[in-house]
Amino acid sequence: MIARRGVLAGLALAADPVFLRHARAEDEPPVRFTVTGAMEQGSLAIGAAPPGSLVSLDGRPLNVTADGRFAFGFGPSQTAASLVTVRYPDGGGDSRSYVPTVRQYEEQRVNGLPQNTVTPPPEVRARIEREAEAIYLARLYDSAGSDFLSGFDWPAPGILSGVFGSRRIDNGVAMSPHWGVDMAAPKGTPIRAPADGLVRISADHYLSGGFTLIDHGQGVSTGYLHQSARLVKAGARVVRGQLIGRIGATGRATGPHLHWAMNWFEVRLDPSLSTRTPKPEAL
C-alpha cells in the first residue's frame, strides 16, 4: 500500500505544471554565452561566447574575437527585441532575445548658433554632403580590433551641457536629435583618447568643425566635434589617455565645448553609458 501511494504521489507530481517547468529547466543545458551592458536604448552591449563560436544578430553575422568576444548596439528608438544566435564549435547552439529599456528623452532649445550652420547656404551643401558621406563610410569599418572591451574614459573635463537623444530646437528651428554628450570647457582644454583605437578621420568639417573619428573595433567608433586643434592624423594609432585635440567652438557651436559621439556602425549610441570613469567636473 505504501509503495502504491508513493507511485500515485509521483504521478501527481509529474503532472504538476510547476514541477514540469522546473524539471525541463534542469534538464536543459545552460546557455553558454553572456551579454552585458546597460541594456537600454542607445547602449552598447558586449557579449562573450566560447572561442571559435559563430555569432549573429537578427541574422547578421558579427565579428568575433579569438577569445569569443563581440559587440552590438541598441538603437536610440529601438523597441523590438534583438536576437543573438550563437553556434558553438561543438555543433551546438543557443539563441536569446534582448529587449532594450525605453528611455525618455529631453527637449533642448539652443539659441545664438551661427545661422549659416542652422540653415546652410546652397553653396556649401555639397561640402556638407561629402563630409557626412565620409563619416558614414568610416563608421562602416568592421575591423577585428577589440579596443572597446576595456571600456571608455571621459575624454575631457567640463560641465555637461548637452545629453544624448534630446530633441533639439536650434535658433527656433526643429533639428535632428542630439546624438552625443556635450562637455563645456574653456577653449584649449585637452581632449584625450578614451580608449585605444585607430584614427579614421581627422579633418575640419563645416558643421562638426574640428572633427576626429576613432575606430575601436567591430564597428564601435567615437567622434570628437568642434575642436580648436586636432592633434592626431588619420591612420594613426592612439592609446587611452593620449592627447588627441583641444576643445573649441568650431562648426555649429555657441561656445567652446566637446561634442562626444559613439556609434556601432550606423547605430547611434550614448557614450556616457559605456564609461568606466566618473562624470567630468568643471575646471
Note the pLDDT tens digit of each residue in 133-153: 999 999 999 999 999 999 999
Note whether residue 191 is domain-resident. Answer: yes
Residue 21 has what DSSP assignment? Answer: H
Note whether residue 17 is domain-resident. Answer: no
H/E run at residue 84: strand 82-87
Q: Are 152 and 38 in contact (CB under 8 A)?
A: no
> Among the listed ranges 56-65, 107-116, 137-146, which one has the minimum average pLDDT value?
107-116
Total number of domains in the chain = 2
- 233 and 127 in a single domain? The answer is yes
Q: Are 225 and 213 in contact (CB under 8 A)?
A: no
Q: What is the pLDDT of residues 25-39, one digit of tens each?
A: 455 567 899 999 999
Task: Grade residue 8 by pLDDT with cuts at 50, 70 and 90.
Answer: very low
- 150 and 200 in a single domain? The answer is yes
- 66 and 201 in a single domain? The answer is no
- 125 and 166 in a single domain? The answer is yes
Residue 283 has pLDDT above 70, yes or no: no
Of residues 82 and 21, the one with the higher pLDDT is: 82
State percent of the chain over pLDDT 90.
Answer: 78
- 89 and 61 in a single domain? The answer is yes
Note whether residue 112 is domain-resident. Answer: yes
Q: What is the pLDDT of residues 209-268, one digit of tens each?
A: 999 999 999 999 999 999 999 999 999 999 999 999 999 999 999 999 999 999 999 999
| Boundary (domain end) residue, out of 98, 122, 139 | 98
pLDDT at residue 24, as a whole number:
41
Note whether residue 163 is domain-resident. Answer: yes
Note whether residue 82 is domain-resident. Answer: yes
CATH number of the domain residue 74 falls in: 2.60.40
- 93 and 168 in a single domain? The answer is no
- 153 and 68 in a single domain? The answer is no
- 177 and 249 in a single domain? The answer is yes
Note whether residue 55 is domain-resident. Answer: yes
Of residues 235 and 172, the one with the higher pLDDT is: 235
Q: How many secondary structure helices (H) and strands (E) does the chain include?
A: 4, 20
pLDDT at residue 185, as a whole number:
97
Q: Are 211 and 248 in contact (CB under 8 A)?
A: no
- 39 and 177 in a single domain? The answer is no
Q: Are 32 and 94 in contact (CB under 8 A)?
A: yes
* Residue labelled with grid coordinates 592627447: 243
- 190 and 69 in a single domain? The answer is no
Note whether residue 5 is domain-resident. Answer: no
Residue 101 has pLDDT above 60, yes or no: yes
Q: How many residues does the chain have?
A: 283
* Residue labelled with grid coordinates 504538476: 16
d(CA 29, CA 46): 22
Residue 10 has pLDDT above 60, yes or no: no
> What HEC string does 210-232 produce?
EEEEEECCCCEEEEEEEEEEECC
d(CA 154, CA 239): 14
Task: Grade residue 282 by pLDDT with cuts at 50, 70 and 90.
Answer: low
End-to-end CA distance of the chain: 84
| Boundary (domain end) residue, out of 98, 121, 145 | 98
Task: Grade residue 116 by pLDDT with cuts at 50, 70 and 90.
Answer: confident
Note whether residue 173 is domain-resident. Answer: yes
pLDDT at residue 27, as a whole number:
56
Of residues 110 and 187, the one with the higher pLDDT is: 187
- 152 and 77 in a single domain? The answer is no
CATH number of the domain residue 232 falls in: 2.70.70.10
| Boundary (domain end) residue, out of 70, 98, 126 | 98
Question: Where does residue 190 rank: exposed (0-12), middle (13-18), buried (19+ CB within 10 A)?
Answer: middle
Residue 111 has pLDDT above 90, yes or no: no
Of residues 15 and 66, the one with the higher pLDDT is: 66
Residue 18 has pLDDT above 50, yes or no: no
* Residue labelled with grid coordinates 578621420: 201
- 231 and 175 in a single domain? The answer is yes
Domain that holds residue 185: 107-274
